[in-house]
A and B are shown apart, each in its own frame.
Chain A
Amino acid sequence: ETGVTQSPTHLIKTRGQQVTLRCSSQSGHNTVSWYQQALGQGPQFIFQYYREEENGRGNFPPRFSGLQFPNYSSELNVNALELDDSALYLCASSFQGAGGNTIYFGEGSWLTVV
């Protein structure tokens, strides 16, 4: 167990809809990163939040947005869903700058867009 909890674990949405995925960080971690993992591929960095501010972004369009709350939990929002958004969405929590062995991934949210 990593102490990182994601919800929902599975969901199905229709093209054009909006989705919100949630992540509860491990206690004490102030940084949350979100990754998208398509089937058969490695995770791709979407963005990172540090102390409630976006602190870096990958090559994803603005319809991917996020929030981090004062308790360091986080949301990933995707608007205008497309079929290619179908993937496993992973949340990783960590303490900023402390190194890779403190980064913990959740088990992800499987999103299917039909």
Chain B
Amino acid sequence: GESVGLHLPTLSVQEGDNSIINCAYSNSASDYFIWYKQESGKGPQFIIDIRSNMDKRQGQRVTVLLNKTVKHLSLQIAATQPGDSAVYFCAEGPYNFNKFYFGSGTKLNVKP
């Protein structure tokens, strides 16, 4: 299938290492943030979300950190696996309205 990851910044990590993907968002009024994973030929898949009244949220092998002061969001993936290889997008928007602004994405390449 076609790739949506052309010309994107790429993060290469070794299998088993931890990955950190960063995102700068633009709208200080956004109160809801989501990380999506997009594999080649597929639509975005929800990974984890966080509301603006929190600065950290953990899921299974993933953690999202939010720094509202500098408008920065990060996604940490523990023990990265080959199946984690994909393009990762952060998205920001209002919580109660499904209109999101997506970042430009980071391609994660996991080396076996």
Contacts and interface: CB of A to CB of B under 8 A. Distances in A.
A42 B89 CA distance: 7
Contacts, number: 80
A40 interface: yes
Contact of B44 (A48, A101, A105): A105
A62 to B, nearest CB: 18
A42 to B, nearest CB: 3
B43 A2 contact: yes
Given A88-B2, A110-B2, A45 B101 contact: yes
A66 interface: no
A67 interface: no
Interface string B71-109: 000000000000000000101000111111111110000
A58 interface: yes
What does DSSP make chain B's interface, helix, strand, loop or mixed? loop
Contact of A99 (B8, B42, B95): B95
Interface in B1-50: 2-8, 32, 34, 41-46, 49
A48 B7 CA distance: 29
B5 to A, nearest CB: 7
Interface-centre pick from A35, A43, A44 (highest chain B CB count, 10 A) = A43
B98 A108 contact: no
10 contacts: A33-B98, A40-B5, A42-B89, A42-B104, A48-B97, A96-B96, A96-B98, A99-B49, A101-B49, A106-B43
Interface of A: 2, 4, 31, 33, 35, 37, 39-45, 48, 56, 58, 88, 90, 92, 94, 96-97, 99-101, 103-108, 110
